[in-house]
Amino acid sequence: MKNLKSFESFNYIDETDLTTEALSNLQKEYRTYFQFLLACFDVTSPSKLSDAKKSEFFDIVKKYWVKGKGTTKDLEKIKEDLIKDGNCKE
């Protein structure tokens, strides 16, 4: 059983291994979109949100992202919507 890794080492992702060249344009767009939404909620990770806010966060992620296509609006328009709905800080 010495080939088994610990959960921590298996679950660990070295961000330096994720070069931007290895990511598709759609993956880069999603990463930017996700970071943008985290900034709107004023957190660095969804785990920092309460259960209710976390659910709301992921509902918003789904609302403005179409799998395989990207965001439904540009980020400025999304931010306007979120500010109007009280889900984003200015």
**11, 19 contact by CB (below 8 A):** no
Q: How far apart are CA 76 and CA 68, in angstroms?
A: 21
CA nearest to 75, candidates 27, 23, 39: 39
pLDDT attached to residue 1 = 47
Residue 47's SS3 state is: helix
Q: Write down the pTM of the prediction.
A: 0.70
Could you report the per-residue pLDDT of 29-79, keeping only the tens digit for each? Answer: 999 999 999 999 999 999 999 999 999 999 999 999 998 899 999 899 999
Q: How far apart are CA 62 and CA 56, in angstroms?
A: 10
**73, 66 contact by CB (below 8 A):** no
